[in-house]
Every structure is written in structure tokens, then in C-alpha cells.
Amino acid sequence: MSTIFTQIVEGEIPARIVYEDETTVAFLDANPLAPGHTLVIPKDEYERLNDVPADVATDLYDTIHRMVPAVEDAVDADATTVAFNNGEEAGQEVPHVHCHIVPRFEGDGGGPIHAVAGEAPDLDDDELDEIAAGIESEA
């Protein structure tokens, strides 16, 4: 079964599409967190960033790079939060990779990205070294 985003790509569900190329599409979020909240997706379905082929990831980033200043300029935003929720436990509600470009304004009440995970863990140097080594070995 295709995701709601695939149905948008295929024209089965209407959306306010603001950019489209061969491999990506950008459209306004139907439930915006701020005026101009835009989603950027690959046209093909990939559930997680880990699943996106390198060439599609490059195209996706190119579109994000193009859209951030366009969104900021269109709504006169002071800044943007640009983020992916990668997996259901991270808050990903649609199992189709999507990048949020959320315009931010002085005094908007939103917090930094560090606020999304709750209380920060208390890790000592040995734990940090072990985590770094594990990541490095997988990269």
C-alpha cells in the first residue's frame, strides 16, 4: 500500500506543491507548525534515511538546499529548523522519508533541536569513547 506522500506524488491526493523535479517533490505540510512549513520527499518510497540510495539522497539534499532560502524568503522567517524524524520511535508518522523545513520567528516559543529528546543522558568519557568507536566502525 502506498503512503499518503506517494498518493500526493501520483496526484491522487491534492497538495500545495511548491517544487518538483525528477526525483523529489516539496509541498506545504497539511498540518503546519508555522506558516510555510514545507516537506521535501523523494518521489519513490523509502521508509527511513538508511534506505535511501546515495544518488537519491544527493538529489534530496539538493532540493532541501534550494527550498530552505525559498521558504524563509516567502514567509520572511528569521530562521528555519530543518529536520528528519527517522523511524516511528523518533516521531516519524508517515513511513516515507520526509524532511521538515519549519520557518522560525523571533519569540515563536519553539525550542532548539536538543529539546526533542527530553532529558540529556549523563555519559562519562568511557561511554562516549565506546559509542564513538561503535559509530566509527559502522561508518
Provide the annotated active-site residues: 98
DSSP state of 120: P
CA distance 66 to 75: 15
**Angle ∠(125,127,128) on CA atoms, nearest 5:** 65
In whole angstroms, how far apart are CA 44 and each of 12, 37, 68? 15, 21, 22
Q: Could you give the strand order of the β-sheet that contains 24-28, starting from the edge strand earlier in sequence?
A: 17-20, 24-28, 38-42, 99-104, 79-84
